[in-house]
Amino acid sequence: VIAIADTIAVRVYYEDTDAAGIVYHANYLKYAERGRSDMLRSLGIGPRQLREETGVDFAVRRCTIEYLAAARLDDMLSVETRLEKFGVASLDIAHTIARDGEPLARLAILVACIGTDGRARRLPARLRAALAQVSQDPPTIVQKTP
Amino acid sequence: VIAIADTIAVRVYYEDTDAAGIVYHANYLKYAERGRSDMLRSLGIGPRQLREETGVDFAVRRCTIEYLAAARLDDMLSVETRLEKFGVASLDIAHTIARDGEPLARLAILVACIGTDGRARRLPARLRAALAQVSQDPPTIVQKTP
Amino acid sequence: VIAIADTIAVRVYYEDTDAAGIVYHANYLKYAERGRSDMLRSLGIGPRQLREETGVDFAVRRCTIEYLAAARLDDMLSVETRLEKFGVASLDIAHTIARDGEPLARLAILVACIGTDGRARRLPARLRAALAQVSQDPPTIVQKTP
Amino acid sequence: VIAIADTIAVRVYYEDTDAAGIVYHANYLKYAERGRSDMLRSLGIGPRQLREETGVDFAVRRCTIEYLAAARLDDMLSVETRLEKFGVASLDIAHTIARDGEPLARLAILVACIGTDGRARRLPARLRAALAQVSQDPPTIVQKTP
């Protein structure tokens, strides 16, 4: 069981909205990617380090989004990123984008490691180690709750 | 059975790409929306007319994307938009984004009519009429298949 | 003399970059607009309030940008927003976008108040009052420096 | 005297607009860049070829935009790109974005050649040759007009 979850705050600016007065639907994917990037960074290996030190990028392979309610100009949103599982070359990630606790969008995203040639690569050893580390911790945490 | 399908051409510019050298994943949703907008226009009721004449917008409710291969700078892509079915207040649309006949991404999108208050609305009568018109033509095609 | 200046922090994500590996040039305008929006908010009247309570938006009328050096993926940037002067219906704003104190881009922007019909409007009284308030303070500050 | 000018057509989609109901100001720079890219392509050396065959990109060094009127959802715009002059390592380009002959925005842009290290480079010989070719042609054209 993996239970890594991070939450970031995202402000909605004009750049995010469209003529219908709401956040343009594609931009929720940007918010989610900000959350994933920050989670990687919190594990000690941000997207640029990943590129420059290991020669890989994460590419989105599959994405499902449910839109529940619309975000609007100036809203302050929370973007939760949960690593649900990781494989040899990919990560399953879930995001919930919410405003004042009300979920506005839910995303399920499969990202895969690719090399500069676009082909699949194994997760870099350093990232796997960081993920294995955090995935072993949750039991300890669970035991804390009597 | 509905069988409305339109295909538009989309050029990839720098604005569409990211530091991994490929089209940023969220931008395929923009390409798909260009295809949907142009299909509406070909039915005689573009997005702005829809807004101004009937007071509704189409909002994306659910979206599933599969990414098969990456598009790159300067690529000329085709974006196919197929209306799969329509309900009282929503449309099911499938898109295939391809390069030289090779599919790069497949999208399944549910769009719903909303009013300026964000609440669901019935499809405007004029649009329903246009859709009913084109959906009555396919039976001829279906009869071809014994 | 007006001397209102705010600085916000902006992280560079994949969405901001392009295939040249740097932040896409148009995106510096987005960063600047985030800074302007936050400055308005700090004056007690954010962009959405402005829209909903006074029926006006700020529209950019003129913009000059000098690009000095490129921002890259994962960079943490500072976006400084300085209100240089304000007129009956417009604001002159200067932005400096920097990384670790090194300026990357300088922007001079003229924004004007427009109504929902797109025509010029006077600055809302409430905003003028807030601006007049802060523009009267600097002399005091200047006198502090012997 | 150089007189290379190309015009492309650009449709305004939801992705381009913002909550004020008009095209977001930064997006005019995207339209202009589409025009520049297509002009390079018409000279036989598109942005990707430039990257892959000569190792350089064009980076925007300075940009001045005047916004005259707003573009709206579904508008069909024309983007004119005029190469005003070229130096050893840079191009001066002017763009006019118009709707039905009415100019909406005027841009003056200085782009410079940079290597993958971000440093200035001379224009690739092949591009200089293409530019010299077209810049020698105008006199002939002028003589055609009695």
pLDDT digits (tens, 9 = 90+) for D19-30: 999 999 999 999
**Torsion sign across C-alpha atoms C34, C35, C41, C46:** negative
**Is there a contact between B61 and A57 if contact means CB atoms under 8 Å apart?**
no
A11 touches chain B (CB under 8 A): no
Q: Angle at CA A62, nearest 5°, toward A61 and A68?
A: 145
A27 touches chain B (CB under 8 A): yes
At a CB cut-off of 8 Å and minimum separation 6, what does A2 contact?
Answer: A83, A84, A85, A86, A131, A134, A135, A138
% residues pLDDT > 70 (chain A): 90
Alpha-carbon distance A140 to B6, whole Å? 56
**Is there a contact between B74 and D14 if contact means CB atoms under 8 Å apart?**
no
- How far is CA C90 from its chain centroid? 13
Q: Contact partners of D by the rule of 3+ C-beta pairs under 8 A? A: A, B, C
Judged on CB neighbours under 10 Å (0-12, 13-18, 19+), A99 is middle
Active site residue A18: yes
| Nearest-CB residue to C47 (from A34, A51, A73) | A73
Query: What values do phi and psi take at D58, rounded to 5?
Result: -95, 130
Q: What is the pLDDT of residues A35-90, one digit of tens each?
A: 999 999 998 899 999 989 999 999 999 999 999 999 999 999 999 999 999 999 99
State how far residue A116 is from chain C, nearest Cα, in angstroms.
12
At a CB cut-off of 8 Å and minimum separation 6, what does C4 contact?
Answer: C39, C43, C82, C83, C131, C134, C135
CA-nearest residue to A108 within chain B is B64
Mean pLDDT of chain B: 89
- Provide, as residue numbers in chain B, all residues whose Cβ is less than 8 Å from the Cβ of D46: 74
D15 touches chain B (CB under 8 A): yes
At a CB cut-off of 8 Å and minimum separation 6, what does D37 contact?
Answer: B11, B13, B14, B74, D46, D47
The pair of three-digit structure tokens given for residue C117, joined into one six-digit string: 């019909």
End-to-end CA distance of chain D: 18
Residue among B23, B24, B75, B116 with most chain C CBs within 10 A, to mutate = B24
**Is there a contact between A59 and B70 if contact means CB atoms under 8 Å apart?**
yes
Question: How do beta strands C4-11 and C56-67 pair?
Answer: unpaired
pTM: 0.92
Q: What is the ipTM of this complex?
A: 0.90
As a dihedral over the C-alpha atoms of residue C18, residue A90, residue A35, residue B103, rounded to 10 degrees, the angle is 50
**Is there a contact between B74 and D11 if contact means CB atoms under 8 Å apart?**
no
**Is there a contact between A67 and B61 if contact means CB atoms under 8 Å apart?**
yes
State how far residue C140 is from chain B, nearest Cα, in angstroms.
46
Query: What values do phi and psi take at D111, rounded to 5?
Result: -115, 140
Residue C125: DSSP 8-state: H
Q: What is the pLDDT of residues C42-53, one digit of tens each?
A: 988 999 999 899
